[in-house]
C-alpha cells in the first residue's frame, strides 16, 4: 500500500510542477505578470516547505530490522487485572502483522498503557497467550521507561548507545528532531527535566533497529515540527506501529485500525478514525479525552450524529472538487504534451521553409497555449477552493478537540 507520507509528497510535487510550469510559461506575458509573480511566491514558499521537510529527516528513518514473516504477534484470550482489582483487559484477541498501523484510544485510566506494556512483555497477563515471532524486535516508548536512561551519559552519547552503527550526523539529526540543539545535545541526562528525558528516550527508539513500534503518547513533549517529522517517519516505517495517543492529528494521519477502550470494554475497529466517528462514534461520557492541535482545553461539543453528518458533508463537497482537479491535471498534461510536439514540429518546418504550414501550426500553438492558460487558471482556483473547504471542515470538526 502507498504510504500516507509518500502520497503527501507526491501531491506536493505535482503542485510544485504545475506552479513551475505556469511561471515558466506565462511569466513573460504582461497580462499574466502579476499572476505569475503570485505563483512564483507560492513556489518559493513550497521550496521552503520541502527544504524543512528534508531537513527534519536529517538523513535518517526509523531503522528497520527485517522480519522473515508477515505475522509479527498473536494475542489470544488476554486477561489482566492489578492484584485483586477489576478486570482491566478481558478476553482480548489481536493479530499484529507487518505494515499494521494501529491507534489505541480511550479515556485515561482505562488500560491503554497497560495493554502496551503487556505487548512489550514488561507486564505478564493474568490469563491468555501471546505468541511473538522470534525475529520480532520491539521499540517501546513508555512514560516510565525514562528511569532506564544512563544518567552519566550526555544526550548525544545516550542516543548513540542505542545504535553504534549510526553516523554522528545521523545522531545529531535525531537530537535535532527531538528539539536538542548542538549545545543542548551535550548536556548530561542527570540534569534534564522529565520531558527532556522522554524526548531522549524517543530519540533512542528513532535510532534503534526495530520492526514493531509500541509508543505511548509519543507527541507529549514535542513541538509541532517534531510531531510532523514523527508522523512522517511512522508512516514510512515498513514494520508495524501501535500507538497510544490523545493527539487527533497523529491519530488521523497514521491509524488504519483502532483499539478502542470504551464502555468498560476493549474492542477493535477495522478502519481509520474518521470512519470510526462516522460509523460508531464516542459515547457522550467518553468525549473529553482527545486533544486537537488548535485547542487542547476545549471539551467535545459535537454529538456523534453531528460529527457523522459533518464528515459526510465534507466528503460530499470535497470529492467532486478533487475529481475535477484530477481531470484538469489530465487536461493540462495532455495539452502540454501536444504543445511540445507542435513546437518540435514547427522547428522542423522552419528548417524546410514550409510557410503555409508554419502559419497554420502557429495558430494551433496559440490556441493550445490559450487553452492551457485557461486550464491553469481553473486549476489554481480549484486548489484555493479545496484548501478553503478543508480548513473550514477541519475547524468545525476540531470544535470538539
What does the domain layout of the chain look like in residue ranges? 1-57, 71-275, 292-401
Q: State which CATH number among 3.50.50.60, 3.40.50.300, 3.40.50.280, 3.40.50.20 fits the domain covering 71-275.
A: 3.40.50.300
Provide the grid cell at 331: 487536461
Answer whether 136's CB lies under 8 Å from 67's CB: yes
Q: How far is CA 19 from the centre of its chain?
A: 24
Q: Are 398 and 290 in contact (CB under 8 A)?
A: no
pLDDT score of 117 more than 80: yes
- CA atoms 141, 143, 144, 145: torsion sign: positive
Residue 74 has pLDDT above 60, yes or no: yes
Max intra-chain CA distance, the chain: 97
The per-residue DSSP string of 111-159 comes to SHHHHHHHHTTSS--SEEEEEE-TT--EEEE-TTGGGGS-TTSBHHHHH
Q: Answer whether residue 19 shows pLDDT above 90.
A: no
Looking at residue 192, the DSSP 8-state letter turns out to be -
Distances in Å between the Cα of 11 and the Cα atoms of 18, 120, 148, 353 are: 11, 36, 42, 44
- Helices 355-397, 4-26: crossing angle, 10 deg rounding: 140
pLDDT value for 222 = 81
Q: Which residue has the cell 497514521?
A: 254
Task: Tell me the residue length of the chain.
Answer: 401
Give, as one character, the DSSP assignment of residue 256. Answer: S
The owner of cell 533512542 is 204
C-alpha cell at 311: 464528515
Q: Residue 241's beta-bridge partner residues? A: 101, 213
Q: Using one digit for the tens of pLDDT, what is the confidence trace for 187-242? A: 999 998 888 999 999 999 989 999 999 999 998 888 777 788 888 888 889 999 99
pTM comes to 0.60
CA distance 270 to 267: 10
Beta partners for 247?
291
pLDDT value of residue 52: 40
What is the rounded end-to-end Cα distance, in angstroms, of the chain? 30
CA 255/CA 37 separation, integer angstroms: 39
Query: How far apart (Å, rounded) are the C-alpha atoms in residues 127 and 123?
Result: 12
The per-residue pLDDT for range 229-246, each reduced to its tens digit, is 888 888 889 999 999 998
71-275 and 292-401 share one fold: no
Give how far Cα 315 sits from Cα of 114, 298, 302, Å: 36, 25, 18
Residue pLDDT, tens place only, 387-400:
788 878 877 776 54
- Alpha-carbon torsion (118, 121, 122, 123), positive or negative: positive
Any idea which residue has 551519559 for its cell?
A: 153
Question: Hey, which CATH number is domain 292-401, 1.20.1330, 1.25.40, 1.10.4030, 1.20.81?
Answer: 1.20.81
State yes or no: pLDDT of 34 exceeds 80: no
Amino acid at each position: 500500500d502507498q504510504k500516507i507520507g509518500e502520497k503527501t509528497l507526491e501531491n506536493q510535487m505535482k503542485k510544485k510542477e504545475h506552479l513551475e510550469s505556469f511561471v515558466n510559461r506565462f511569466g513573460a506575458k504582461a497580462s499574466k505578470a502579476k499572476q505569475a509573480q503570485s505563483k512564483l511566491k507560492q513556489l518559493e514558499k513550497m521550496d521552503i516547505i520541502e527544504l524543512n521537510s528534508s531537513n527534519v529527516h536529517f538523513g535518517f528513518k526509523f531503522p528497520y530490522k527485517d522480519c522473515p514473516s508477515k505475522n509479527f504477534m498473536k494475542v489470544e484470550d488476554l486477561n489482566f487485572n492489578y492484584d485483586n482489582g477489576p478486570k482491566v483487559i478481558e478476553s482480548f484477541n489481536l493479530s499484529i502483522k507487518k505494515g499494521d498501523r494501529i491507534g489505541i484510544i480511550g479515556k485515561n485510566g482505562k488500560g491503554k498503557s497497560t495493554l502496551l506494556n503487556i505487548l512489550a512483555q514488561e507486564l505478564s497477563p493474568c490469563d491468555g497467550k501471546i505468541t511473538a515471532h522470534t525475529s520480532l524486535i520491539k521499540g517501546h516508548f513508555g512514560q516510565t521507561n525514562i528511569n532506564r536512561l544512563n544518567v552519566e551519559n550526555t544526550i548525544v552519547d545516550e542516543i548513540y548507545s542505542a545504535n553504534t552503527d549510526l553516523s554522528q550526523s545521523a545522531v545529531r539529526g535525531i537530537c535535532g528532531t527531538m528539539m536538542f540543539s548542538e549545545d543542548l545535545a551535550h548536556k548530561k541526562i542527570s540534569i534534564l527535566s522529565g520531558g527532556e528525558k522522554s524526548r531522549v528516550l524517543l530519540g533512542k527508539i528513532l535510532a534503534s533497529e526495530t520492526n514493531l513500534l509500541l509508543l505511548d503518547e509519543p507527541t507529549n513533549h514535542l513541538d509541532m515540527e517534531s510531531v510532523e517529522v514523527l508522523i512522517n517517519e511512522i508512516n514510512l516505517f515498513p514494520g508495524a506501529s501501535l500507538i497510544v495517543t490523545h493527539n487527533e492529528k497523529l491519530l488521523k494521519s497514521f491509524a488504519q485500525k483502532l483499539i478502542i477502550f470504551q464502555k468498560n470494554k476493549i474492542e477493535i475497529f477495522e478502519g481509520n478514525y474518521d470512519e470510526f466517528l462516522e460509523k460508531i462514534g464516542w459515547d457522550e461520557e467518553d468525549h473529553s479525552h482527545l486533544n486537537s492541535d488548535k485547542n487542547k482545553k476545549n471539551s467535545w461539543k459535537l454529538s456523534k450524529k453531528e460529527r457523522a453528518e459533518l464528515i459526510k458533508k465534507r466528503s460530499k463537497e470535497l470529492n467532486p472538487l478533487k475529481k475535477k482537479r484530477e481531470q484538469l491535471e489530465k487536461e493540462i498534461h495532455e495539452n502540454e504534451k501536444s504543445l511540445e510536439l507542435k513546437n518540435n514540429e514547427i522547428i522542423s518546418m522552419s528548417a524546410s521553409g514550409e510557410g503555409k504550414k508554419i502559419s497554420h501550426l502557429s495558430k494551433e500553438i496559440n490556441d493550445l497555449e490559450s487553452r492551457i492558460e485557461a486550464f491553469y487558471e481553473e486549476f489554481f482556483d480549484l486548489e484555493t477552493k479545496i484548501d478553503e473547504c478543508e480548513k473550514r471542515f477541519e475547524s468545525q470538526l476540531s470544535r470538539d478537540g
